[in-house]
Each structure stands twice: as C-alpha cells, then as structure tokens.
Amino acid sequence: MKISGLLTQKKTSPPPKVGEVKRFTVEARPKKSGVGTWNKLINAKDSQGAFYEVFAVEATDYEDDYGNVSYSLGVELIPTATSPVPTPTQGPAPVFRTGQDSVRQHLMRSANLYCMCVNAVTAVIMPHLGSEMSDEDFRSAVHTLFIEASKKEKPGEPWISWIDQMPDKPMNPDTGEEEDPF
C-alpha cells in the first residue's frame, strides 16, 4: 500500500532517501479546513510502527518553532518485513495523488472497511439475535463496528487509522482481494 505523508524531524537528523527502508507510525489527522485528512509520518521506535520503503522525498520550506524540518514523503508498506532490508524499486517513482484521486482513494478505503463491518454483523451478530434484529439494530451494529475500527488500537500507543490500511480499490466480498472496476 502506497501513501503520502509529512515527516517532521530534527534538522540534525539525516534526511530521508529514496529507496531507504524505515520504520514509521502513520497518523491520519484532520485538515485545518475540516474536510479530509492528511498523514503524519513518525519515525517509530524499535518495536513500533511498520516498515515502509521511501519512494519519493521532497523537502518543504517549513521549520517549526523548535527548529524541526519537514519532508513530504511517498512510502510503500512492506507487509512482511522483519528487518530494514531495502527492496528494489521498479519503474519511475509514482507521483503524489491530489484532488479527486485522493478523495476517491479515501472513500474507497472507507467503503471497504464499512463492507467488512457489514459482513461481520451478518456473520457473527445476526445469528445470535435472529428474527429479533430489526433493520435499525443492524445499521446500529454496523456503525458501532465502523466507529470502533476507526479508533486507535491500544491506549498509549500511536494512532493507527484502519481506514488507511484498507485497499483503495473495491474488495471482492468473497475473497477479500482487490478489484478494479474503473
């Protein structure tokens, strides 16, 4: 899964490099406009976060009050990485998505998570309630699971957005694999 995000670090820290594999924690944060989110990348400690390969780096002109500098990064999750061993990048570095593509990606990820919640209610909760489950109860259960899946994983740990972990193309409900209808 490829994402773009903003990394802020000390000026004295080495800048990120394309092809580098690093451990990051990703936090989805609301934009100041109130519409949409942006990803904050945080250099993770030894056992936290996940491994990502950096495929795009752009220094920003921003420096905060503490002298930290920011980089706009494109990173790709390495799902089975156990150590930071670089993997070869194939083809040109992808460009950052903006505008309608970003909105479509977010909506598709949200829809995939919502569909997983519908499947969970159908498979687990409905058999226990049977005919006693009204349409309103069904919707409430789905929404409760969706909200719960949108929270952080464990108290005291960095924020994890499960929406951002979902595929950005529709999932096949039977196999869970991505499908591209577009």
- Structure token pair of residue 18: 């394309």
Per-residue pLDDT of the chain (182 residues; tens, 9 = 90+): 788 889 998 989 899 999 999 888 888 888 888 777 888 888 887 667 788 899 999 999 888 888 889 999 999 888 754 444 444 444 444 444 556 777 788 888 888 888 888 888 888 888 888 778 888 888 999 998 888 877 656 566 655 667 777 777 787 766 666 665 54
Q: Model-level pTM?
A: 0.44
Distance of alpha carbon 22 from alpha carbon 83, whole angstroms = 9
CB 76 within 8 A of CB 18: no
What is the distance, to the nearest Å, from the Cα of residue 48 to the centroid of all Cα atoms in its chain?
15
Q: What is the pLDDT of residue 86?
A: 40
Q: Is 117 helix (H, G, I), strand (E, B) or coil?
A: helix
Residue whose structure tokens are 């479509």 = 104
